[in-house]
Structure 1
Amino acid sequence: MSSTADLFEQAPAQQPLAERLRPKRLAEVVGQQHLLGEGKPLRVAAEAGALHSMILWGPPGVGKTTLARLLVAASGLPFMAISAVLGGVKDIREAVEQARVHGRAAVFVDEVHRFNKAQQDAFLPHVESGLFVFIGATTENPSFEVNSALLSRATVHVLEPLQAADLHELFDRGCRHLNAQWSEEAAAQLIAYADGDARRMLGSLETVSRAVQGVVGEEQLKQVLGKQLRRFDKGGDAFYDLISALHKSVRGSDPDASLYWFVRMLDGGADPRYLARRLVRMASEDIGLADPRALRLTLDAFDTYERLGSPEGELALAQAVVYLAVAPKSNAVYTAYKAARALVEKDASRPVPMELRNAPTKLMKTMGMGQGYRYAHDEPDGFAAGAHYLPEGVEERFYTPTERGLEGKIAEKLERLREANAAAREGLGKR
């Protein structure tokens, strides 16, 4: 726990550069102008000293903790910090006791998504009573990770990754603080590597500057940092955003965008086998019978990767990505499958028509099972016109092929078969 009195004491020299450069006033904050610009919500709240319960949602290193501290300082309320990684209900109880001493307090919970439902529920009565102004910080989507009851009592503010200009300003501050010199090319490479994360950039800036004598160039930067991966959360929103972008690019028939997102995920450390599984899914969901070769090709690519591994096998997956992107698209099978499932889930268990039942014994045959069944191979063109295969009372058509790719021919054939069915049933009705 900490109070506003000691919140901004001079940081010791051994603290990371990002901590030493942490802004002490809102005017020093870089970026997030959609929240801190003139007339914007957090700027207005700070100027009015009217702090409200909120959840700050954004990727790492964009200023969530800094904003929370500065907003609390502007409000004049006592500040209490709880880490959801290390804390628990006991820390919440301690915060309640301290808040009661002061009459009201701001409670900041870092990584709030790591608290379970019971721990999050422990805040509710104190937020409702006004004892707590609740401020949560999270890198995960609060819609999924924060209880709806707590979410309804807090305003969600979305923080964005810092832009290159913002990072450059912080880079210049860091260089002045460290008395470091960098070439323009090395600075640009470090800023690109930071990928919107100020803490990551300042940490790398300090590491490289202390390791290199003189001006830091691109070669020295590579030697110190080595091959680093871009920010990629294998279990969080960044992961699902990227796979969503890949899937939608394939569905949108854009091979360039599809390859870009595919490589972004590989570059970030995604398991190629996971990507292979998703490609197989896309072949069935978005292409289906418009081009049945797509499914076979993705399975072959999957098998090739299993045989070759990385990086050689990744080329086969890239081939599958491009093929899926340029293939004709149809979700007709996917739609038909969902419609059939929906009917079966809500419908009664209708009996199998007698003519379609298996009759391996004499008793079953005497009961009428299998009688009247027409063996399609013995019929003209291999089709028993007029026969019924759905249970009685079920008339739905689940599968409606598109006119794209092979499905265009499938649509033509189904139309001919339906016409033959209608004619045969009309003839039976006249007898």
Structure 2
Amino acid sequence: MSSKSAHAPLAERLRPQSLGEVIGQQHLLGEGMPLRIAFESGQPHSCILWGPPGTGKTTIARLMADAFDAQFITISAVLGGVKDIREAVEQAQVAQAHGRRTIVFVDEVHRFNKSQQDAFLPHVESGLFTFIGATTENPSFEVNSALLSRAAVYVLQPLSEDDLKQIVQRAQAIDAVPPIEAAALDRLIGYADGDARRLLNTLETLAVAATREKRSEVSDEWLLKVLGERMRRYDKGGEQFYDTISALHKSMRGSDPDATLYWLVRMLDGGVDPRYICRRMIRMAVEDVGLADPRALRMALDAADVYERLGSPEGELAIAECLVYLAVAPKSNAVYVAYNEARALVRKDGTRPVPMHLRNAPTRLMKDLGYGKEYRYAHDEAGGFAAGENYFPEGMRPPNFYRPVERGLEIRIAEKLRELRALNAREQGRNP
């Protein structure tokens, strides 16, 4: 690390000045790893650095510019636009005329719209500059396919506990923060949640507070006082949000109540609207529990209603109770599968006419034309079942969409269907 002004932010003072100083991301920067090879090749290439905040995306981009002795131009997609892109192109043309490379770094590239992203394409293709984009969102959804096809994607991971402790040690080595007791350090690392920038900003806050209060050590009790209520990093609208709700849904489907509760609390702790969880919970009841336990849907609706009446935090217990019930309930996706198969068949099949005996006949003319003729009213039949009757369009084989599973109430449903189908087969045998 080069010497920098003591008045510079701690994150800037500790920013790595060489590849060897980078902490974390060894799956990309270690010996023989993709980005290390790119640095050593001497040939920069366009890429997208995808990862959570505070994982080193900007640092890696700057080090790449240094390694290739390239002009480094930064554009913020939050504040910038086409005008900034045009200025970057002009600067790159000047540098090229003097035989120097240019790297254009676009922070939060996912915030640029399609036309803004397209503006980079001709210059990337011509080799005027090397494009490096940084994003916290999945590039598959947020970056144009044309730009994505011209850039390698490197996935950065949250920093590990050991990585974060190394950063603390570096800060202490330049006397930026006072000694930290073990319990306080563990809490601080958990608070940072894999984000180096968050850790460094917090260390800086602690250092200022410790100086003001003339403290020689950061204790756990004092740390809690300074930090206030601990909040985890949580992206309510991005990749992490969908990963977490996916984990909740799959834990419930896998009949693990403890994991289900864990992911529920992770989402609530991160600030997700409990009403969203209620909506997903209702979906879980119909998709994954289904008719194996029809009470699950009623319980999900009741839990959502309880939350509306009580709000947070009391209403969240009803959500937890319902999710545990869903997790331990027998599972069946038979109706879900049947419904999707029916939709697929209707989409590809022709519009078959409704059989005459199933048509409604509200007028005399319709009755005279045969609408509803020979319809068998099931309640008037033995056992309330019109054995042998056909309810599909003529010429269409019964598709057997719904196939009950041998779990929960669907065991009895399957038995009933087998009985009814046997009656149908017997009647159809008598009337071929």
TM-score bucket (shorter structure): over 0.9
- Equivalences for residues 22-421 of structure 1 within 5 A: 22-103=15-96, 104-177=101-174, 178-212=176-210, 213-395=215-397, 396-421=399-424
Deviation at 1:356, TM superposition (A): 1.1
In structure 1, C-alpha distance between the alignment counterparts of 2:19 and 2:123, rounded to whole Å: 28
TM-score when scaled to structure 1?
0.95
Name the residue aligned to 1:427: 430
Secondary structure of 1:426's aligned partner: helix
Deviation at 1:13, TM superposition (A): 4.4
Deviation at 1:427, TM superposition (A): 1.0
In structure 1, C-alpha distance between the alignment counterparts of 2:223 and 2:349, rounded to whole Å: 65
Name the residue aligned to 1:4: none
In the alignment, is the contact (CA less than 8 A) between 1:280 and 1:295 conserved in 2?
yes
In structure 2, C-alpha distance between the alignment counterparts of 1:391 and 1:203, rounded to whole Å: 69
Gaps of 5+ in 2: none
In the alignment, is the contact (CA less than 8 A) between 2:177 and 2:204 conserved in 1?
no
In structure 1, C-alpha distance between the alignment counterparts of 2:63 and 2:81, rounded to whole Å: 24
Deviation at 1:217, TM superposition (A): 1.0
In structure 1, C-alpha distance between the alignment counterparts of 2:9 and 2:331, rounded to whole Å: 52
TM-score when scaled to structure 2?
0.95
CA RMSD for the aligned pairs? Answer: 1.4
Deviations 1:30-78 (A, max 9, x none): 0000011111111111122221111000000000000010012101121
In the alignment, is the contact (CA less than 8 A) between 2:2 and 2:17 conserved in 1?
no
Deviation at 1:398, TM superposition (A): 1.2
Residues 111-120 or 167-176, more deviating:
167-176
In structure 2, C-alpha distance between the alignment counterparts of 1:208 and 1:41, rounded to whole Å: 37
Deviations 1:388-427 (A, max 9, x none): 1112233212111111111111111111111111111121
In structure 1, C-alpha distance between the alignment counterparts of 2:348 and 2:4, rounded to whole Å: 64
Secondary structure of 2:314's aligned partner: coil
In structure 2, C-alpha distance between the alignment counterparts of 1:335 and 1:19, rounded to whole Å: 55
Deviations 1:247-295 (A, max 9, x none): 1111111111111001100111111111111111001111101111111
In structure 1, C-alpha distance between the alignment counterparts of 2:415 and 2:198, rounded to whole Å: 59
In the alignment, is the contact (CA less than 8 A) between 1:62 and 1:162 conserved in 2?
yes
Gaps of 5+ in 1: 1-7
Deviation at 1:9, TM superposition (A): 8.4
AA partner of residue 339 (structure 2): Y
In structure 2, C-alpha distance between the alignment counterparts of 1:50 and 1:304, rounded to whole Å: 61
C-alpha change, 1:184 and 1:36, in structure 2 (3 Å) is same
In the alignment, is the contact (CA less than 8 A) between 1:49 and 1:76 conserved in 2?
no
C-alpha change, 1:83 and 1:345, in structure 2 (3 Å) is same
Q: Structure 1 residue runs of 4+, over 6 Å off? A: none
Deviation at 1:11, TM superposition (A): 5.1
